Amino acid sequence: MGKSYLSVENVAVTFQGRGKVSEVLRGVELQVEKGEFVSIIGHSGCGKSTLLNVVAGLLPVTSGAVIVDKVAVESPGPDRAVVFQNHSLLPWLSVYENVRLGVDQVFKGSRSRAERHEWTLHNLQLVQMTHAKDKRPSEISGGMKQRVGIARALAMEPKVLLLDEPFGALDALTRANLQDSVMEIHAKLGNTVLMITHDVDEAVLLSDRIVMMTNGPAATIGQVLTVDLPRPRRRLEVDVAPAYVAARHAVVEFLHERAPGVRVAAA
């Protein structure tokens, strides 16, 4: 089972309600290698988040299968950590406690209390949030909350990190800083990442490959583009590189062909 580290095999998702059948995804096939950073892009309603939720185990497939490291996905699990656009931190806990909660859930039986404490601090340090470890979510900015959400996800040592438009609600400068941080963390940890985005430039900057979804209903993968840019990537250098320009053009062209006249996010 599973040809790659993450294998999405002929996945279909159909919803039924009020006597109607709605086919959201049809015949989705995707292979993601260990350590690869893959983005999924497409117009609203194309099933991007549905696909991510299927990989996360939050939504069952109607047919097909999702395999992570040779194990079929049938429910949520710590091997797949999700960072949503809304940080979903618990407001009554401190930054440290929000991350520690996940660490305790995953490692209570395998690591000592001291080890779990050190691991929590290590992951806060990865996202440069150690200085705010005692603050509550209401006392920090939106970008800082997302950093904590990323730290909490990384602290679970997931096999696959799932990012659902993690920078979508942030201002341009904060988004750029977080994108750079995610690139640095990916370079350091070599983790496998699947990210949903609406932003063409974000997809090209961060990804090894970009998966372009056709419009729904019955959405599927229309095209997969390899981003031929060496790492590490520095945004001021890559955005003038011919390979960056070509990749960006290919994605924009695909999206415009799917929905002429629709404005494509490319901030």
pTM for the full model?
A: 0.92
Tens-digit pLDDT string for the chain (267 aa): 557 899 999 999 998 888 888 899 999 999 999 999 999 999 888 889 999 999 999 999 999 999 999 999 999 999 999 998 887 899 999 999 999 999 999 999 899 999 999 999 999 999 999 999 999 999 999 999 999 999 999 999 999 999 999 888 889 999 999 999 999 999 999 999 999 999 999 999 999 999 999 998 899 999 999 999 999 999 888 988 999 999 999 999 999 887 544 444 544
Q: Are 251 and 204 in contact (CB under 8 A)?
A: yes
According to DSSP, residue 103 is labeled H
Q: Where are the domains of the chain?
A: 1-79+161-168+190-267, 85-157
Residues 4, 64: Cα–Cα separation, whole Å = 15
Is 87 buried (19+), middle (13-18) or exposed (0-12) by CB count in 10 A? Answer: buried
Distances (CA, A) of 249 to 45, 153, 180, 253, 258: 22, 32, 22, 6, 14
The residue among 151, 252, 262 whose CA lies nearest residue 203 is 252
- The dihedrals phi and psi of 41, each to the nearest 5 degrees, come to -130, 155
Residue length of the chain: 267
Note the pLDDT of residue 258. Answer: 73
pLDDT for 71? 93
Q: What pLDDT sits at residue 259?
A: 57
Q: So what's the architecture of 1-79+161-168+190-267 in CATH?
A: 3-Layer(aba) Sandwich (3.40)
